[in-house]
Structure formats: structure tokens, C-alpha cells
Structure 1
Amino acid sequence: MIRVIIADDHPLVRRGIRAMLDDETDLDVVAEAENGAEAVERAATVGADVVLMDLRMPVLGGAGATARLLADARARGDVVRVLVLTTFESDADVLQAIEAGASGYLLKAAPHDEVVAAVRAVARGRTVLAPGIAEALVRGTRNAAIEGVRLSDREAQVLALVAEGSSNVQIAARLFIAESTVKTHLVHVFEKLGVDDRTRAVTRAQELGLLDSRPPRPAR
């Protein structure tokens, strides 16, 4: 069962999202929040796997709430993912949310099936971006791209498999290397990209054009 918190300042919107998710047997809406500060508090007290986060809310906006919520979760040793669900798609909004650590970014106009699938994917550690959002990321980061960043062939292979949702054990089996070696490669990738988690590593590598779109080929 995937535990979900809905954070949105409009009661009717929260009601509509809840009705959508209540139809799914594997999704359980455990709490609602009408602003970012409440979302942070609900995540700490009620607990959740995924927080559906609006961006523009009173008291504390979605990006700020995302950063604080994820930092608090890490301090507690919890794993919480944030999926932004908003009406805003400007480059600045997208970048703010992703930089804060959001695992996905969808528009409220997205079809029912797309939203449900995104919640499930984010809960599994995948990154989900609405069509066109990737382009906004590229536009917004082109001038601020980290110069000189290069991944080795093996690091790129490992990260590509992370992007597919593979675990360290699965990556080790796929590439015929030890799990400890996979962890070492990921540590190096995190250091090079200036990130501290798998989702952000994938997002940053995509922003910089460092991920090969072709599936990794096993190499002994």
C-alpha cells in the first residue's frame, strides 16, 4: 500500500485528487494539507511514501516545503518522495521544484491514469516529468551547466540502470560486478554531479546530457 499526502490550498482540488486516488486499491490517502508548513508537519507525524505537492500555497510554498520535508525525512531515516502536481509550468517553477528534491513534476490537467501511474512510479524511486518539462530543465540549466563534468563509461552504465529503476543488486547482476562496486561508482557519480541521492543524480545527468539514451550493455 502506497501512503499518500495531498498538499494543496484549494479544498475542492484536494477533494478531486482524493477521489481519484481512492479508486485505486494500492493507494491510501493518509492526510491532507492546505499549505506547505502543514505538509511538512503531516509528513513527520502521519508518515507517507509520496506527497502530492502544489507549488503556490500560503505560509510555505511547495518548493520550500519540499526541501524542508525531505531534509526532515532524511534526518529521521525515512524515505519520502515528492511529486509536484500544479498548474504552473514556467521554467523557474520547474527548476525550483526539482532543485528542492522533487521526484516528479506533473500538471493538474494530466489525465487520471497518468497521475496514478506517476504516484506509483515515484513511490518506486523513479523520476517522472510531464511532457515538455524536460525541455524547460534544459533551457533553465544550459547556462548554469557544470563545466567539465564527465562520467566514466561504467559510471554512465550504472546511472542509466538507476534511471530504469534497478536496485544495486540488480545493477551488479546486469553488469557482472560486485554490489560494493556499484555503490562505489554511485558515490563517485554523486560527488561529480554535486547531489546526494539517486533521483537527483538521474535528473542532473539528464540536464547535462550525460546519460546515454541507449540501454547499457553488460561488460565483463
Structure 2
Amino acid sequence: MSTSSPKTLRVLIVDDHAVARRGISAYLEVLEDIEAIGQAVDGQDALEQLAELDTYGNLPDVVLLDLMMPRMDGMTAMQEIRRKHPGVKVVVLTSFGEMERMNTMMQLGASGYLLKDAGALDVAAAIRAAARDEVFIDTSMAKKFTLQMSAPSVGMSSLTERERAVLRLVATGKSNREIAKELFISERTARTHVSNMLGKLNLTSRTQAALMAVNAGLVAPTT
């Protein structure tokens, strides 16, 4: 019985520094399951290339996106990519390690957040995770998030049993509608539970809630 070879993941590299683009591209060239299909010098260039690729049905699976670039920065480009090409995953690769910036990008739909000092293996892991509809966050950023959540056990202890159940479901990627169906409640009630849970934990996004659930041992981390 023959088995088909795994799909090669196609990546567009977006960075205004030629050295960074070439370095990432050179690393990806040695991987069997990932290939760089192009390089863009800023967000505007990326959108123009994506529009052309879309015309021929050759969109990349993942865009590696820098944040600080001329003409069009990464945040603006991210919003446009998600609006025009929702099937394309975006992994942020930046030198900025502020939690607020990371949270903003994740809320806009990023599938990963890496710092530029991340190892080559992490870059490849983030690309593969994005292709699997998973989230990959730089180890140092994940540690910052954990430290930021002061006394997480106190926050967890404030949750009702129903809110803890909602947190587990949020951590597994369930939507409000799916949570409602799972818990036999209305979607409006599910939305209220999610809002209350985030408020008690002092969180602003479902991604943050998922990370906290993993750190608290409520759900197993994705591999």
C-alpha cells in the first residue's frame, strides 16, 4: 500500500532587511517539508505579491511577517492579509518582545509570535504549527506571559465550576456556539461565561486563556 508524501508548506518571507530574508530563506531551503516561495520588502510588497499569487491559485500556506517596516508595517499588513486571504496563516517574526504587542497581533489572528533571536528549529516549528491551525509562541514570550499572570492560582480559584469548564473548552479552540452545544446552554449564556471567565483572570483574549489553562494543567499542551 503506497502512501502519499507530505505536502510541502509554502512560505512568503516579509522583512525589510535583506540579510534577514536571505538567512531565513537559506535555512528553509534545507528542509524537505518547507519551501520559501518568495520574499517581500514590506507589507505593501507582500500584499501585491499575494494578490498576484492568488490570481494563479498559488497562495502560500504561511507568511513570516516582520512588524516594523516602511510603507506598510506588519500590523496593517496582518489585517489586510487576514481580510483578503483568510486561508493564509501569519507568523510574526520580530525583534519586539512587548506583551501588549504580542497580544494585539494574536487578537488580530496571528498563528505564531517569534522573536528574531529564535532558533531555526523554532521558526520551522512555528510554520508547521500554523499549517496545523495551532498557535506557536516564542518560549521567552510564553515565560513573560506566565510571570505577568501574578498569582494565577488565586485567579483560578475565583472561577465557578461552570467557568472552569468553559475555560477548558476555550483552551481546546471551541467557539461560543460549540461551547453552548457542549454544555447544553444558550450561545448568549456561553458568551457571558466566557466574558466573566476572562474578566476574573484579568485576560483580554481567548489565546491568553488557552495559555493559562495549559500552565495551570487544566488541558495538555499541543505537541
TM over 0.5: yes
Q: CA deviation at 1:23?
A: 0.8
Corresponding residue of 1:100: 108
Structure-2 residue corresponding to 1:175: none
Between the aligned partners of 1:110 and 1:153, the Cα distance in structure 2 is 33
1:17 corresponds in structure 2 to 24
Between the aligned residues of both structures, percent identity stands at 29
* Aligned twin of 1:61: 73
Answer whether contact 1:83 1:119 (CA < 8 A) is retained.
yes
Q: Point out the structure with max Rg over C-alpha.
A: 2
The one-letter code sitting in structure 2 at the alignment partner of 1:81 is: K
2:40 maps to 1:40: no
Partner of 2:136: 128
2:167–2:210 Cα contact (<8 Å) kept: no
Written as runs of structure 1 = structure 2, the 5 A alignment for 1:178-217 is: 181=181, 192=194, 202-206=206-210, 209=212, 213-215=217-219
TM-score under structure 1 length normalisation = 0.68
State the alpha-carbon separation in 1 of the partners of residues 104 and 205 from structure 2: 16
Greater mean deviation of Cα atoms: 124-133 or 50-59: 124-133
TM-superposition CA deviations, 1:81-107 (whole Å, max 9, x none):
111111221234323322332111111
Deviations 1:45-93 (A, max 9, x none): 321111000110011111111111111123xxxx111111112212343
Q: Using the TM superposition, give the Cα deviation of residue 136 of structure 1 relative to its aligned residue in structure 2, in angstroms.
A: 4.7
Distance 1:38 1:69 in 2: 12
1:44 Cα deviation after fit: 3.1
SS in 2 for 1:162: coil
Aligned to 1:171: none
- 2:173 is matched with 162
SS of 1:125's equivalent in the other structure is: coil
Question: Structure 1's 36 and 94: CA in aligned 2 closer, same or farther, altered over 3 A?
Answer: same
Alpha-carbon distance in structure 2 between the residues aligned to 1:190 and 1:29: 40
State the 4+ residue runs in structure 1 displaced beyond 6 angstroms: 138-142, 148-151, 187-191
- Superposed CA deviations along residues 10-29 of structure 1, whole A, max 9, x for unmatched, are 11211110011111111121
Alpha-carbon contact 2:64-2:91 (below 8 Å) kept: yes
Tell whether the 8 Å contact from 2:12 to 2:63 is kept in structure 1 after alignment.
Answer: yes
Structure 1 regions of 5+ residues with no counterpart?
Answer: 143-147, 169-177, 194-199
Pair 114,60 (structure 1): closer, same or farther in 2 beyond 3 Å: same
- 1:137-190 CA-to-partner distances (Å, cap 9, x unmatched) read 578899xxxxx9986455434333339xxxx9xxxxxxxxx9x946x99x7767
TM-score (normalizing by structure 2): 0.67
Letter in 2 for 1:52: L
Match of 1:173 in 2: none
